[in-house]
Amino acid sequence: MMRQYELVERVKRYHPDADEALLDRAYVYAMRAHGQQKRASGDLFFSHPLEVAAILTDLKLDESTIVAAVLHDTIEDTDATREEIDSMFGPEIGALVDGLTKIKKLDFVSKKAKQGENFRKLLLAIAADVRVLLVKLADRLHNMRTLHYVAPEKRIRVAEETLEIYAPLAGRMGIQEMRDELEDLSFRYLKPEAYETITRRLEEVAQRNGPLIETIEKDLTARLAERGISAKVSGRRKRPYSIWRKMERKSIAFEQLSDIFGFRVIVDTIDDCYRALGVVHTTWPMVPGRYKDYISTPKQNDYRSIHTTVIGPGHQRVELQIRTAEMHEIAEYGIAAHALYKDGRTGGRTLMSESRAYQWLRRTVDLLAEGDSPEEFLEHTKLELFHDQVFCFTPKGRLIALPRGATPIDFAYAVHTDIGNTAVGAKINGRIAPLLSELQNGDEVEIVRAEGQVPPAAWESLVVTGKARAAIRRATRSAVRRQYAGLGRQILERAFERAGKAFSDDKLKAALPRLARQSIDDVLAAVGRGEMFSGDVVQAIYPEYREDRKPSSDGANGTGWFDIKGGDNLRFKVPGNNEEGSSKAIPIRGLNGDLPVRFAPEGGAVPGDRIVGILTPGEGITIYPIQSSALAAFEDSPDRWLDVRWAVEEGNRQRFPARIALNTINEPGTLATVAQVIAEHDGNIDNIIMRRRTPDFTDLTIDVSVWDLKHLNAIISELRAKRVVSKVTRVTG
């Protein structure tokens, strides 16, 4: 275990003016707080925060971060409090430690919800101070290095979480060395056989190729020196996880890998980078399609380098990364290379807030912290952590970085949420293209918009960015809520009119406490969803009101309800104000209107039918023809019956569902004849069910989409005239 003076020496090695007293105080405080607590390995628990601090000293971080690392488990695992930390070490360090403390006192439905809420808390703390992330990654790295001491089931869970969240997060922050180690450690526990096999094969390759790496290092260094380029060339083998991921992605065997070796060329200036590239390409043949320039187009995590692959000595493919020393520092340490904070004890160093990686993190947190559940937040964050990217451009030349596999919908939301919400089409490189096209590097994308457009809910499962998925989910929820609120307002207006009472938002607002709702929209949406009956709202405003919907002895009463004889001699109540011109009836314009509407599942309804609306909780209005026998099931639920009327505008080319039943002669061509009649009359077949009744006859049940009742009757009349059709009837449930 690292001693007190060793910790101070490690910090002073790169920061001579560090506050030694602060470091000593933190060491003693944490040691006393953790006392005799033990880890799964049997070591004193205090050794863990010290190892975390040691990892961070390798990144040369300020003493406040080192102190936070030493204290990071005190609030969570000891009797220490945030107030105590603040008083002894200051609110800055207290905030860092609190940001690293898990949420323990909330009840969560699932482990995933708890994981998501803890991760949300962590990311919000990171957005406030990036040093929280650096401590957390170092904490996870040391836990992964000692993971073999914990129980197997926990081992798998921690490794999965590391591979899915923390390793990609380290990559997005540009801390590549830490990401590589986290991935390899996770891979070792999740795929132990594959890890052992690849590790063994790499050793065999190293023995077989002998001094190949050293040979290329010397040869390339000499060739660069001949051109006056001072360079440090270092070779390495790819890591096991990187190799396994490539084998899985490309479905190839280990023997088919041709770029196991990689080399880094560190030069002095950007000009030297391109000069070195010229030397490499004139010395060895370049592999087409393997050149990438991340200097002119940096990655979102600030990574900059030139990548190329050549056919090197022994016809061996060799990857090269060419960069300056400054680029190399950022490539290895990522955002840690920017983590310079204003501190009176550190010579006035300031945070380099222009770090693109940190800006991305702040934007991600701002977008994902808006009301989603913990599980959704975790899901969206995982999407945002995808590392492979494509770079596309707006028509004005703005660069947009997206995950590989992104579509124009993702692009639209990356530019602005409003553009995504109103997108109806796209042009890629000047040509009209589907919104689900996969974007490629260098594509210029123009989004076609339509005001008033609402993104389809189906888009949520088709996009690949967390921002797009979260925005679509919010937009569809908002649109559905507006639909329900609109329906609820119409229901209430008619309920108050029927009761002879005045209705206004002010009266409704005054009754909110009695209705146990926070806002008028909450009440309207609840009524529209069928969670609250209109009569209850009337009584909340007018306590003396009593609604009576029992039919009178003559079949009608003051509420406008009538006894109607339905199919199979059933009798049930329906609203009486159902004439087409009734101003009291709710207008129905179809599925694409401004109300949550669906049609009777067994038969549908079409304009021209006398119709009844049934309020279905959570689903809106279900429209039934007046003659539907299915209405008998709602006879004892008068609050669910709505007076509705058709309000389809002339020229509106929207089809409506209907069902017909046919008894046909069983002979070749019968189905074709039926389908031809429907097609010639501009009907659309949605579904067909065939059932052989006798050897000579077949029953057909066909769901069709038509314009109106006249259109449907024309189809039925033509079918009846066909020789192969014995009988045709309409099904109304």
Residues identified as active-site:
76-77
Distance separating alpha carbons of residues 337 and 339, to the nearest angstrom:
6
Cα 78 to chain centroid, rounded? 36
Distance separating alpha carbons of residues 272 and 292, to the nearest angstrom:
17
Nearby residues of 383 by Cβ (< 8 Å), 6 or more positions away:
403, 464, 465, 466, 469
Contact (CB, 8 A) for 97 and 85: yes
Residues 257-279, buried b or exposed e (16+ Cβ, 10 A)? bebbbbbbbbbeebebbebbbeb
Nearby residues of 272 by Cβ (< 8 Å), 6 or more positions away:
229, 230, 231, 324
**HEC assignment per residue over 92-119:** HHHHHHHHCCCCCCCCCCCHHHHHHHHH
Cα 154 to chain centroid, rounded? 26
Q: Which tokens belong to 447? A: 């989004």
Distance separating alpha carbons of residues 471 and 414, to the nearest angstrom:
10
Contact (CB, 8 A) for 318 and 263: yes
Q: Which tokens belong to 182? A: 């986290």
Distance separating alpha carbons of residues 132 and 385, to the nearest angstrom:
18
Distance separating alpha carbons of residues 354 and 78, to the nearest angstrom:
37
Q: Are strands 586-588 and 644-646 parallel, antiparallel or unpaired?
A: parallel
Q: Are strands 317-324 and 389-393 parallel, antiparallel or unpaired?
A: unpaired
DSSP string, 190-244: HSHHHHHHHHHHHHHHHHHHTTHHHHHHHHHHHHHHHTT---EEEEEEPPHHHHH
Q: Which tokens belong to 364? A: 């991600």
Residues 17-49, buried b or exposed e (16+ Cβ, 10 A)? ebbeebbeebbebbbebbeeeeeeeeebbbbbb
Q: Which tokens belong to 637? A: 């639920």
Q: Which tokens belong to 473? A: 């989910």
Distance separating alpha carbons of residues 234 and 196, to the nearest angstrom:
26
Helix, strand, coil fractions of the chain, as percent rounded to 5 = 50, 20, 35
Contact (CB, 8 A) for 436 and 412: no
Name the nearest CA neighbour of 661 among 694, 635, 700. Answer: 700
Distance separating alpha carbons of residues 474 and 413, to the nearest angstrom:
13
**Is residue 399 packed enough to be buried (19+ CB in 10 Å), middle (13-18) or exposed (0-12)?**
exposed
- DSSP single-letter state for residue 667: S
